[in-house]
Structures are given as structure tokens and as C-alpha cells.
Amino acid sequence: MNNDIFPIKNEGKVFKFKMSIFIIYFSLIIFLSTDDKLQTIYLKYNTSRLNLIVLIFATFFIALRTKAIYLDKILLFMTMRSTLLLIPYYYTNNTYGYWGNYLVTLVSILTYLLVINLKISNRYKFLNILFRFIGVSLTIQLIYNSVNLLIKYGVIYKHLIKLPIGNSNFIAAFLLPCCTFNIVKLNKSWKDIFFICFFLFGIFLTFSKGAIISLLIVLLIKVILNAFENKKIIIKSFKWYLKNISIIIVIVIFLINVMNTRIGMEIYINTIDKIINISNLSLNDYTSGRIAVYKMNLNRFFKHIFLGDGTGFKENFSNEIEIKDGRAHNWIIELLVQSGVIGFLLFIIPIFTILRRTYKTKNYATYQIQTFFAILSILIHGLVEPNLFSLNFDVLFWTILGISETENKYYYNNILK
């Protein structure tokens, strides 16, 4: 039976082409940059317009091959929010970078529209290839970057970890769903174990404690959900995760020793130092300046509760704020700031609708549980890092959501009526 809401003809002939569209897009953001000081594998080239051209071309190409463009309620909510975001521009004082950030919402709509009209039945294969390509590419770049930093400085500093795709925390944001998608898989092969360890090693090389903690939270939620479904599974689940995590930790430690890095020691020393001196640190210091950023952005929200303060920000920030990019570093706060309570609802309702439907269809398409936790890991990680509402990351986020929702529609239309 064909697992799709569309009739598919000659899918084998066009799957590789459709897959290549996304491989090309992510190749551009992973391997091309205008920065000539990066310590990794890349080509110097400005991709800011090229990325958008690829998406627009892909969308129109798919549209030409489709007799009717498929639209849904998710797109309606996304379009309503993007329209709402135009209003704050006329009353806000925070206009720096407004249209650049607004473009992210349009690209999200374009991405979702493209994905739900791809007309592929093997959606697990699509996501698996995409995650592995992104994860392997970024981890190889990180290893190369780390070796160069070790040769040059004798140590790896977090602030020097930078790839064409972004800084260390943003790199970890991409690696996290790649790792989560594989680690929650029910029946793992040795190949799956290899990719899990490889992606975990990549996350470790970013020094991102937020990504590591987010992954652990996701695994804990997985165990709890299993317990609710079947109380007997809880003991088995804890043993299973304990066994697998132990193996992964041993392999990661082995890889670190092979590279002879000081990453583990630095993380250990920094963590212990913070624990010992926690009484001497303010909450803002302990969170690397995030509390000050939260307060600044919440003040913006409370000035315009219903419609928000838009996608722009001030060009200059207070010296008290350690984080200088103007982002809230929390997607919920960022969402409220951008589009207020109304925009928050227009965003959150579609997201949690897809999550609920994805979890419900996991018994029919087993890979949906992997997709569910990949999405969840992004949302959890986004509570402390600025992953969402970034141009390139939103392409990945809405690709995952689009693939998952297409799967949901098939089962809701044919089985769960």
C-alpha cells in the first residue's frame, strides 16, 4: 500500500532528485562562507542569496510537476503569523535587522510548502539521509577545526569553535536532532550505533552543555512515556538506556583520548568550578548572561502584549549583557516578543498539533517516534539557545515538521478516520 496522501508515479526516478534539492541547500550552508579565517573545511563564497534561490527554484519546480498545489491549515496559521509580523514595524523602535529576521518566516512557509508537496512515500529514508548528511558533515568539520585549534593554540577554546554554519552552540543545535533521531530508534543496527557515537562526539566538540542536557531530558521523557504506556517497560527502558549510554560514553572518551584533547578536562574543571563557586555567582553569571537577555526581551513583550514588538532589535546593547546578538535565547520569549500573544498562539497551535498527531501515528509508522523526539529535542534545546527563528535552522525545522505532517495526513485520512 502506498503510504501517501498523493498518488505517486515513478517515485524511484525522482526521489534522488528531490533528495538532492535538500542536500544541495545544506551543502551550501555547511561548506560555503564569506569568512576567510575559519579553521575548517569550506569554500569562500557568499551564499546569502543563493540559498533562497535554491528554495524558490525547488518550490516552483515541484509546483510545475504538480497538477494542484497542496495546502493545509498549518500553512494558513503560518501565513497569518507572517502577516501579523508586519504590523509592529510601524510602531516599534527596534528596527535593526527587522526585514532580515522577517525573511525567516517567509522561508519557513516556503520550506513547509515545498516539503508537503514533495510526494515521496519513503519519508523515513528521506529524513535518515538528510540527518546523516548534516551530522557527518558537521562532525567532520568540527574534528578538523579542533585539530587545527590544537595545533595552533595547544587547547580548544569554545569561543574559537566556528564553522560556516555558525558558532559552537548553533552547530550543536543542528547535531542534536540528528543524534536524537537515531538514538531513540527502537531496533538499532551497528551502523546506527556508529552514527550515534559520531554525532555525540560532534556535540561534545562544541562544548554545548545545553545540547547534552537537552538530549538527556529527551531520553528521560522517552522512558516516562514508555512507563505510562506500559508500566512493565519502565525497568527495561532504564536498563536499555543505561546500557546504551554507558557504551556511548566509553566510546566518546576513547575518541577524546585518541585525539589527545583537553576538552573533557576543561569541561570538567569549568563545571566543578561553577558548582563550587555557585554561592559567589549571580544567576545571570551562572547562565552566561541569559537572565539579563530574558529581562530585556520580556520588557519588550510587556510593552506590546498582543501584537508583539516585531523581529527587529536595537543595534547596541548594554555592557551588562554578555550576549550581543539581540536574540532572546529562548524560543518562547522570542516568539512572544516578535508577535505577542496572538502570534504565539498562531505558532504554537500548529506545532503541538503536529507533535500530537505524530505521537499518535507512531504505532503505524515506527519512525514517527524518532521524528517526534527530534522535534521535541529542538524545542527543549531552544529554551536556552537561539536555534529557532534563524534562517538556515528553520529550513531544517520545517522540513522535519513537513515530512512528519505528511505522514500524519496519510494515516488520518486512511486509518484513523
pLDDT at residue number 231? 56
What are the grid coordinates assigned to 269, written together?
A: 574543571
Assess contact for 5 and 118: CB atoms under 8 A: no
Secondary structure (DSSP) of 318-366:
-TT-S--S---SSHHHHHHHHHHHHHHHHHHHHHHHHHHHHHHGGGTST
Distance CA 297, CA 309 (A): 9
Assess contact for 154 and 164: CB atoms under 8 A: no
Secondary structure (DSSP) of 265-323:
HHHHHHHHHHHHTGGGS-HHHHTTTHHHHHHHHHHHHHHSTTT---S-B-SS--TT-S-
Closest CA relative to residue 68, chosen from 111, 5, 145, 161 = 5
pLDDT at residue number 89? 94
H helix and E strand count, the chain: 15, 4
Q: How far apart are the first and last CA of the chain?
A: 17
Q: Which helix (H) or strand (E) holds 33?
A: strand 32-33
Residues 174, 40, 262, 251, Cα dihedral to 10°: 50
How many CB atoms sit inside 10 A of residue 113's CB? Answer: 23
Place of cell 526516478: 13
- Model's pTM, two decimal places? 0.86
Place of cell 529542538: 378
CA of residue 249 relative to chain centroid, distance: 23
Distance CA 42, CA 38 (A): 8
Distance CA 138, CA 38 (A): 14
One digit per residue, the tens of pLDDT, for the chain of length 417 reads 344 444 445 566 678 888 888 898 899 889 888 777 787 877 777 666 667 777 777 777 776 666 667 888 999 999 999 999 999 999 998 888 899 899 999 999 999 998 998 888 788 999 999 999 999 999 999 999 989 888 888 878 888 899 999 999 999 999 999 999 999 887 778 888 899 989 999 998 998 889 989 998 998 898 888 777 665 555 555 666 666 666 666 656 655 554 444 555 555 455 545 555 555 555 555 556 677 788 888 889 999 999 999 998 776 554 444 455 567 889 999 999 999 999 999 999 999 999 999 999 888 788 899 999 999 999 999 998 889 999 889 999 999 999 999 999 888 777 766
Q: What are phi and psi of 42, to 5 degrees?
A: -170, 170
What are the grid coordinates assigned to 396, written together?
A: 531544517
What are the grid coordinates assigned to 345, written together?
A: 498562539
Query: For the chain, what is the largest distance between any 2 Cα atoms, rounded to a whole number of angstroms?
Result: 66
Distance CA 324, CA 142 (A): 24
What are the grid coordinates assigned to 123, written together?
A: 519519508
Distance CA 66, CA 6 (A): 10
Side chain identity at residue 211, one-letter code: A
Identify any residues that bridge with 167 across adjacent strands, giving them in sequence order: 162
pLDDT at residue number 270? 55
pLDDT at residue number 277? 54
pLDDT at residue number 260? 46
Angstrom CA distances, 403 to 40, 85, 285, 379, stand at: 32, 26, 40, 17
- With the C-alpha atoms ordered 210, 216, 219, 224, is the resulting torsion angle positive or negative? negative
What are the grid coordinates assigned to 258, written together?
A: 585518541
pLDDT at residue number 34? 76
How many CB atoms sit inside 10 A of residue 260's CB? Answer: 7
Distance CA 191, CA 98 (A): 44
pLDDT at residue number 350? 95
Distance CA 32, CA 327 (A): 24
Place of cell 497551535: 349
Side chain identity at residue 121, one-letter code: S
Distance CA 89, CA 307 (A): 11
SS3 72: coil
How many CB atoms sit inside 10 A of residue 387's CB? Answer: 28
Helix, strand, coil percentages for the chain (3-state, nearest 5): 70, 0, 25
